[in-house]
Structure 1
């Protein structure tokens, strides 16, 4: 008997994967020709395990075997050619061939190059096995292929060549000639992605011992959010009911002030969707939403996808980390909470792009905090949506400028009711002077009054300087910025969520979209209006108290000028000067719109937007059906979803011994706890501050670090690198 696994016959495995693939093809609403391609791919994907060396390997008599996906190539290539004749489709449409060949490896120009000239020998029972496989195909509606004997006769010619050599065989495509490898790159992207994604999902489900494909789809989502909404205080707000009532709309635009139930409105609109992908700007906001949606839809239904998802799953979930990470990373759970980067990397053809794009295409996608992205990222997003609009799309923000909305597909606008916009939560005071000097003294005064004080600086260096000066006074202070180790940052976020009276929280822009906090008073350096509105949303968050003091210091630092630009800061200050002392949420939203009207029409903003669009367009045209090769320097330079502040993780020297001990104890997965993100250009401008730590496959840095102040630049290093954004 031919084996697929030590305890599973090859025929049983192929039958199970084919059953799952057929069900998934139906659930994903694949057209019949593609459904047949999926059946074919599932039935043939592991035929290459019928080699003598694989059967020896699976029985423990060999240490390695010839790649079975490559050994399957002659079979699927011939079978798909016959199916194309039967369907009357293009004979060069080889979606199933590409899917089978790459079900363990990304499709690319170097795939299996090392196996050229290497032939394989198939097991003597292969013909009898194919006879049984033909019965399996007939059960799923593919019964018009030639007989097994005819197939066998045609197959002999292909088996005379090494499978890898078939990839270099030349085929005609119109007036052009391409190798089979090149022809696979030129397949219709959507068709190839859908066939490969369905095969992959079916194979993973079978291997993960979860043979029910329906676990990949959300059941009774409207009931789940309805139960959750009934547990909240008071009835639904008018705009939440409105969002629920327009659930048939394909595109929703939602604008509602902070703390009024925007998330609930979005979920009510999503209703009974079978797939929900909720995209947010940062890992911190994504983690918080993941916890929240698990309470609504259940732990098993909700996945997390971002750069540190594997770590979070080990810490906070009882699931098998491998299965949970795999299904989450490819958007295969019913509900996926992810950073926008994960969605965009799929459109830049990162690993497993086929699954993510296929599943996103038939999902309800929520883009929350849409205001938070720079123009390059927005350009990537707009181009991705232009090419592949999901089944349903929602854009949401407390500050959703009309000029920004016009860039996106036209939607049905739902706004919070008028009384919610008329809240006056803040008393705004423009103060001459700088945050570092006049602001520090005022922060002390507020703290002595027992106020919980939030101080927001525009650069890490300024925030660290404020912390050191205020801490020296003996007041309880906490500092948070982006250059803390993950573990230390988590501890700080927990601490600042429950501030004591008289405490001071000094932060950078990390508070704008990352933390659900509410303080009594805000002191901040002038910044763009949209950033200031987000900062103001962290004091008197729900408007339950009298207007909270907001002191905005009008002398900005050199670091702020480099980050935001002189013209944006000047325009923001002009707009601030037109606001009343106690602006309503509506007046703050309009102020944001005024700034966007200016910024979106600047040459620099438009240029970055177009660069994002162009990057995605060029990469997709270059790659076709290939997965991006990150060893190619030119391609790697384009494989980024952000501009300006690209970061890399480094390990402070003070944590090196702890990191090595974790590895020795078999807990190397905890290494992310100790890593600190730094701007990538630091490594270029100050290379001698960093060195490779081969044992941990990470860079260590000798820059000073402690858990209270984070990573710091000494005076010597300060002159060698510029101030960064966070």
Structure 2
């Protein structure tokens, strides 16, 4: 007799509507089909598949109790009610699993709409469930309270690998639950767990077309070198190649040859993600490509326990074949933040591509080392680290945890390039552009400064001075995406572009001249790569490095070390071309990172292994997450000027039936959003419908206003 039949024997009506237009039995059976397919892809053992199917049958059991009805506005917490009922009735159901697994199943029933709370927090949720002011099936949740006191002991008695597997089982079931509950097309979702011949052909065709569109010709010699590197038998690669060489093509080839279950393309900035998404969706069907760039899980911001997912939530769980995202999202998943278990399952047998890895903070490198140590053996993923400015210290630190990693540095490619002739100045960008006004009138110039406020300041000055005769544009990371895309479409016809760090990695551009503030060595080298990108030897100065207005955001120590090393770097470039970037002498200052990496790694390892038992969710405060990742957190927010449009789209999203229609509406909503800092959020209002902060100090031409004394 099946579990569903045994539940029916206990007097519960499986035909009861528990999801819009769907009975409990229909939902449970759909969940079983989906979970079985996903677990089959990963070749899970039979006992774990059976546990997942059991959870499919019982995860919503609380909705079958007579005190819960779909039309009620105020309902008891069905996850807690269901867990209590399950523990009372499992002896009658006759489960053929160990007692410990029965209790862990009850914990997963209670937790399937929430993070995996540590015992104290779980006990708090149970106590709050007893205070819900509506009729409940149980007046007291005695067994759930006992479970809260026992869960640590139960988990501690299990091997680490089993704890990982249990979290993954819940992740698979929750994914199936979301797909069924939201009426998403099962076959389209499951296609993202397979690798079709059509997908492989599209990737290879896309590489050829992309090369021709960028250069006008296809470089067969370069393609063969990319193919040789991509076909390496080693699981983990680290590749250093100059800007403009074709690292994206290399990543696509690696993807096509290895055929991973999922691909995670990690980029250093949110703005870079948008550009890559546009490029990737020209190569592959949009069904296979997703972008996600919240800093933190929405769960970390929620004030209350919520049992229903928001319409936007489904797009946060790494469903697409290829997810283009930030390192934050990968690390928050492996740090077990929020509902990490829904995402982490997708790391199994995946390919993780980390582009421009030199831009990681020391704290991020520490987190990366922790997750490689903890998950690599069980999750069997492979890594590809890429950079135009390889960091020797980061190479060393990554190599320690990936001893079989193959490192490839294209020395010949660097040596033949002499694209830049550099002059350093001891005065500011603002002073230099006054001196070089004639040049600005004649040559396409890129100006990069270190803060958005300074970029906005220079933009207003140049618009006033040269705006009548020169096309001048401002781009930085604090624009809504619709405004950012509008500006990017005009870059080719722009005479003067003022930007910030976003130009280092997110814009495939080439200008005649560069004027830049002093920045850390890796950032400077990336900025140099935006000038004469595809050109030949420079015969006159085309890069001007100026004194920064402030030490933000890098700090005094790093900028001083770079200032002292810059004259030697300029001389070395004159002698040996861009091979100078490979000289470890210019990277000595990075030794100060090593101690920080080890310190953070130790703290995180203890928290994950000892306190969270490689199972419970991280529910850290904003400040703690910032310390873990080494930079101020950002969230997506909505400019007030676009609020009404986004709310209208959200209503359409709720009413949409087809998956493709939902995805298109979701993309339109995201076009209205802007990355916001903690300071922006403090001064913003929270919108409950969108679950986003509303930013008021926004201008379509300037972005979030940072310039002082703006009218």
My pick for the range that moved more, 26-35 or 76-85, is 76-85
Q: Find the aligned partners of 2:116 and 2:355 in 1 and give their Cα distance.
A: 33
1:257: Cα distance to partner? 1.4
Residue number in structure 2 paired with 1:579: 572
Residue number in structure 2 paired with 1:13: 27
- Checking the alignment, whether the CA contact within 8 Å between 1:431 and 1:553 is kept in structure 2 is yes
Deviations, residues 74-124 of structure 1 (Å, cap 9, x unaligned):
56547888999956x6736744333222222333223332233999999xx
Query: Are 1:200 and 2:189 an aligned pair?
Result: no
1:284: Cα distance to partner? 1.2
Query: Are 1:279 and 2:266 an aligned pair?
Result: yes
The 3 A distance-change label for structure 1 pair 250 and 419 is closer
1:281: Cα distance to partner? 1.0
Residue number in structure 1 paired with 2:375: 388
Residue number in structure 2 paired with 1:608: 596
1:710: Cα distance to partner? 5.6
The 3 A distance-change label for structure 1 pair 183 and 303 is farther
- For the residue of structure 1 that corresponds to 2:474, the secondary structure is strand
- For the residue of structure 2 that corresponds to 1:454, the secondary structure is strand
1:179: Cα distance to partner? 1.6
- For the residue of structure 2 that corresponds to 1:303, the secondary structure is strand
- Checking the alignment, whether the CA contact within 8 Å between 2:633 and 2:678 is kept in structure 1 is yes
- 1:342-353 residue pairs with structure 2 within 5 A? 342-353=329-340
- Checking the alignment, whether the CA contact within 8 Å between 1:704 and 1:712 is kept in structure 2 is no
- Checking the alignment, whether the CA contact within 8 Å between 2:471 and 2:493 is kept in structure 1 is no
1:215: Cα distance to partner? 1.9
- Checking the alignment, whether the CA contact within 8 Å between 1:254 and 1:413 is kept in structure 2 is yes
Residue number in structure 2 paired with 1:424: 418
Query: Are 1:214 and 2:171 an aligned pair?
Result: no
- For the residue of structure 2 that corresponds to 1:559, the secondary structure is coil
Q: Find the aligned partners of 2:346 and 2:643 in 1 and give their Cα distance.
A: 39
1:211: Cα distance to partner? 3.2
Choose which of 240, 244, 249 in structure 1 pairs with 2:226. 240
1:675: Cα distance to partner? 6.7
Q: Find the aligned partners of 1:48 and 1:710 in 2 and give their Cα distance.
A: 46
My pick for the range that moved more, 554-563 or 573-582, is 554-563
Q: Find the aligned partners of 1:13 and 1:561 in 2 and give their Cα distance.
A: 51
- Checking the alignment, whether the CA contact within 8 Å between 2:294 and 2:636 is kept in structure 1 is no
Residue number in structure 2 paired with 1:135: none
Deviations, residues 610-658 of structure 1 (Å, cap 9, x unaligned):
354245334424334333446xxxx44312364344446778xxx75x3
Q: Find the aligned partners of 1:536 and 1:371 in 2 and give their Cα distance.
A: 16
Query: Are 1:226 and 2:236 an aligned pair?
Result: no
My pick for the range that moved more, 235-244 or 376-385, is 235-244
Choose which of 354, 373, 389 in structure 2 pairs with 1:367. 354
Q: Find the aligned partners of 2:457 and 2:177 in 1 and give their Cα distance.
A: 55
Deviations, residues 259-295 of structure 1 (Å, cap 9, x unaligned):
1211111221222222111111111111222222223
- Checking the alignment, whether the CA contact within 8 Å between 2:445 and 2:496 is kept in structure 1 is yes
Q: With structure 1 as the length reference, what TM-score do the two structures score?
A: 0.76
- Checking the alignment, whether the CA contact within 8 Å between 1:482 and 1:677 is kept in structure 2 is yes
1:343: Cα distance to partner? 1.0
- Checking the alignment, whether the CA contact within 8 Å between 1:280 and 1:368 is kept in structure 2 is yes
Residue number in structure 1 paired with 2:106: 97
The 3 A distance-change label for structure 1 pair 259 and 163 is farther
- For the residue of structure 2 that corresponds to 1:362, the secondary structure is coil
Choose which of 339, 362, 371 in structure 1 pairs with 2:326. 339
Q: Find the aligned partners of 1:682 and 1:8 in 2 and give their Cα distance.
A: 42
Q: Find the aligned partners of 1:120 and 1:600 in 2 and give their Cα distance.
A: 59
- Checking the alignment, whether the CA contact within 8 Å between 1:308 and 1:672 is kept in structure 2 is no
The 3 A distance-change label for structure 1 pair 162 and 327 is same
Residue number in structure 2 paired with 1:509: 501
Q: Find the aligned partners of 1:666 and 1:206 in 2 and give their Cα distance.
A: 23
- Report which of the two structures shows the higher radius of gyration computed on alpha carbons: 1
- Checking the alignment, whether the CA contact within 8 Å between 2:295 and 2:635 is kept in structure 1 is no
1:366: Cα distance to partner? 0.8
The 3 A distance-change label for structure 1 pair 561 and 396 is closer
Q: Find the aligned partners of 1:556 and 1:238 in 2 and give their Cα distance.
A: 42
Query: Are 1:448 and 2:448 an aligned pair?
Result: no
Q: Find the aligned partners of 2:94 and 2:164 in 1 and give their Cα distance.
A: 18
Choose which of 18, 30, 33 in structure 1 pairs with 2:44. 30
Q: Find the aligned partners of 2:428 and 2:595 in 1 and give their Cα distance.
A: 33
Residue number in structure 1 paired with 2:611: 622
Residue number in structure 2 paired with 1:518: 510
Q: Which runs of 5+ in 1 are unaligned?
A: 123-158, 171-177, 311-321, 718-726
- Checking the alignment, whether the CA contact within 8 Å between 1:522 and 1:539 is kept in structure 2 is yes
My pick for the range that moved more, 366-375 or 30-39, is 30-39
Deviations, residues 295-321 of structure 1 (Å, cap 9, x unaligned):
3331111111112999xxxxxxxxxxx
Residue number in structure 2 paired with 1:266: 251
Residue number in structure 2 paired with 1:542: 534
- 1:397-476 residue pairs with structure 2 within 5 A? 397-408=387-398, 409-410=402-403, 411-416=405-410, 418-419=412-413, 421-442=415-436, 444-449=437-442, 451-474=443-466, 475-476=470-471
Residue number in structure 2 paired with 1:179: 149
- For the residue of structure 2 that corresponds to 1:105, the secondary structure is coil
Q: Find the aligned partners of 1:564 and 1:9 in 2 and give their Cα distance.
A: 63
Q: Find the aligned partners of 2:672 and 2:320 in 1 and give their Cα distance.
A: 29
Choose which of 26, 30, 49 in structure 1 pairs with 2:63. 49
| Number of residue-to-residue matches in the alignment | 633
| Alignment RMSD (CA, Å) | 3.9
- Checking the alignment, whether the CA contact within 8 Å between 2:451 and 2:553 is kept in structure 1 is no
- Checking the alignment, whether the CA contact within 8 Å between 1:366 and 1:395 is kept in structure 2 is yes
Q: Find the aligned partners of 1:305 and 1:418 in 2 and give their Cα distance.
A: 36
1:192: Cα distance to partner? 2.3
Choose which of 59, 70, 73 in structure 1 pairs with 2:80. 70
My pick for the range that moved more, 388-397 or 98-107, is 98-107
- For the residue of structure 2 that corresponds to 1:351, the secondary structure is coil
